[in-house]
Amino acid sequence: WISDTFEESEKCSLSEIKLFKTEMLAMPVAKKSGYKEIVAQKLIWQNENGLYDKIKTMWIPPKPRCVGDSGGFTSVGITDFLPAILALIYGCSIATGVLILELLFEHRQFFLSAYCPKHKARKRARLEQPQ
């Protein structure tokens, strides 16, 4: 999974965080049982023969190897993130334009009566007509 997700230069900076402290393995044996010493001997024998290491390598994948010197960094210039800045500027401009249009549409009666003399005359004529 790590090899598929991260680039080669990023693998060297990864570190492992232990979530849980692993305790030593133990086998439950009844008190004064004759099996206690036999089980202890066999656990030591399995550890000495490498059976624990074999199981560990089978179930826990190894940390990926670092290839090359990954201590450096890549500098980023304005041209690298210029499209993001332009998208932000265009988005803000469009949002401001939509806000102005909404305000004009919402208060159109006020603007028409304040700035359009023909509209004032029509409105006055409608009010003066008998019903």
What residue ranges do the domains of the chain occupy? 1-12+22-72, 82-128
pLDDT of residue 72: 58
Summarize pLDDT for 36-62 with one digit per residue, the tens: 888 888 888 888 888 878 888 888 777
- Who wins on pLDDT, 73 or 106? 106
Model confidence at 97, pLDDT cuts 50, 70, 90, reads: very high
C-alpha separations of 116 from 31, 54, 111, 124, 125 in Å: 102, 89, 8, 13, 15
pLDDT of residue 67: 63
pLDDT of residue 116: 74
- Mean pLDDT score, 19-48: 79
